[in-house]
Amino acid sequence: FNPQIQSSNVIYTDRFSTIYFANSEGSYIEQERPFLSARFTAIAREGDNVQMASESVGSTKGFGVMERISKGRIQA
C-alpha cells in the first residue's frame, strides 16, 4: 500500500478464436486459440506533482502470462 496512489484501474480481456485448416487431400485441423490482455494504470500524487503510469500485456499462449503477472514476473 502506498498512500500517494490516488487511483488505480485494471482492464482484463480474454477471448478464444477457432481456426480451421483444410486442404484438398482431406486433412482437416480445428485449433482453438486464446487471447488474453490486461492493462494496469495507477495515478499518484505528491503535493502538486501528479504522475500516471500504465503497463499492458497480451498473450496468445494461454493463462500462464496472467499467473506470471500475479507473481510479478513480467519482463519488458
User: Mind listing the pLDDT tens digit for each residue in 5-38?
Assistant: 999 999 999 999 999 999 999 999 999 988 999 8
Tell me if 42 is assigned to some domain: yes
Tell me if 75 is assigned to some domain: no
Q: Which residue range forms the structural domain that includes residue 22?
A: 5-70
What total number of domains does the chain contain? 1
Q: Are strands 5-22 and 49-59 parallel, antiparallel or unpaired?
A: unpaired
Mean pLDDT score of the chain: 87
Backbone angles phi, psi at 43, to 5 degrees: -120, 125
**Residue located via cell numbers 495515478:** 43
Give this prediction's pTM. 0.64
